[in-house]
Amino acid sequence: MISACTVRRETDQFLADILTGLSRPQKRLPSKYFYDAAGSRLFDRITELPEYYPTRTELAIVTAHAAAMADRCGPRCLLIELGAGSLVKVRLLLDRLDRPAGYVPVDVSGEHLRSAAAELGADYPGLGVAPVVADFTRPFELPPVPAARRVAYFPGSTIGNFDPSEADDLLRRVAGLVGPGGGLLLGLDLRKDPAVLEPAYNDTRGVTAAFNRNLLVRINRELGADFDPTAFRHRAFYNRERDRIEMHLVSAAEQSVQVCGRAFAFRAGESIHTENSYKYDLDDFARRAAECGWRAGASWTDEQRYFAVTYLTA
């Protein structure tokens, strides 16, 4: 029998990341692996939870200010969406853009991306839709579409999942990708009372807990590991020193888990750190972005200042 550990290239990277993460003193699993088919469905359910304010707040901001955002993008822009998940928000923009040169959704999940892109293309017959299957955290090539300007669209505060130094690297790389005069339209979850933040990651229905545990289910299925997902408790809290929500999976008991022939020991109460979700101050962010090649343009927020969408120029 061919072991589940030695099959494909994508699996190799996944396996290497999981083994490295579980070997650290504070065990870690990269949050980008949450989004298999089941994880993406669970995330979609999270966005509809009453406690999870970011998605609906950002949607309201884009709905209210789509014309102003499109105006910043300018005529004949090529819109490049990083991590193209929900194609809802981008439609609001596409509806307002002046003769867009094209739309390039970038995502690792090839199958999902191609079907979503085909659907979108059918709704926007004149628009050139050119999906790129790539991990946008690594260098990738853009299709050679002539455009007056390239604008990256990075909604959802996904940037919040990157540690500050990784986020800076990404900002620098995106500045290079769009080139001088290019733009970045970015969603940022803002700092706020932990009494609002913490329930958003500890919903009463347990959807976020299922989303967190699904990472173990995925590792079992794709890497032949033997995690007992029910033996790990979901934990999410706001870390005030670091301005971030942290998600963990806490081992309920002392146990040992096998991943591809390697054993990992857990003490009772020991956690695997599965996600950071940084929360931003707009002025702090603008200062950091300036060091990464971006000038602040305009920002739009909701009345409660829970979330912001900001336009930057390279």
Is residue 271 near ligand AVJ by the rule CB under 6 A? no
CB of 212 to ligand AVJ, least distance (A): 7
* Binding characters for ligand AVJ, 54-93, by CB under 6 A (x = yes): x---------------------------------------
Question: What's at 185, amino acid-wise?
Answer: L
CB of 154 to ligand AVJ, least distance (A): 11
193 CB-near residues (< 8 Å, 6+ apart): none
CB-nearer residue toward ligand AVJ: 150 or 248: 248
Q: Which residues of 142-181 are buried (b: 16+ CB within 10 A; e: fewer)?
A: beeeebebbbbbbbbbbbbbbeeeebeebbbbbbebbeee
CB of 22 to ligand AVJ, least distance (A): 20
CA distance linking residue 264 with residue 272, whole number of Å: 11
Q: Burial of 134 by CB count in 10 Å (0-12 exposed, 13-18 middle, 19+ buried)?
A: middle
* Binding characters for ligand AVJ, 32-61, by CB under 6 A (x = yes): --------------x-------x-------
Question: What's at 143, amino acid-wise?
Answer: P
Output the residue with the shortest Cβ distance to ligand AVJ: 277
Neighbours of 251 (CB within 10 A): 21
CB of 156 to ligand AVJ, least distance (A): 5
Q: Which of residues 146-205 bind ligand AVJ (CB under 6 A)?
A: 156-158, 160-161, 201
CA distance linking residue 146 with residue 3, whole number of Å: 47
CB of 76 to ligand AVJ, least distance (A): 30
108 CB-near residues (< 8 Å, 6+ apart): 32, 133, 134, 135
Q: Which helix (H) or strand (E) holds 264?
A: strand 262-266
| Strand arrangement, sheet containing 77-82 | 132-133, 102-107, 77-82, 149-154, 183-189, 307-313, 295-301
CB of 89 to ligand AVJ, least distance (A): 12
CB of 49 to ligand AVJ, least distance (A): 9
CB-nearer residue toward ligand AVJ: 157 or 251: 157
Three-state SS at 137? coil
CB-nearer residue toward ligand AVJ: 107 or 275: 275
* Binding characters for ligand AVJ, 95-134, by CB under 6 A (x = yes): ----------------------------------------
Among residues 214, 251, 271, 277, which is the contact residue for ligand AVJ, using CB under 6 A? 277
Residues that bind ligand AVJ (CB under 6 A): 46, 54, 156-158, 160-161, 201, 208, 275, 277
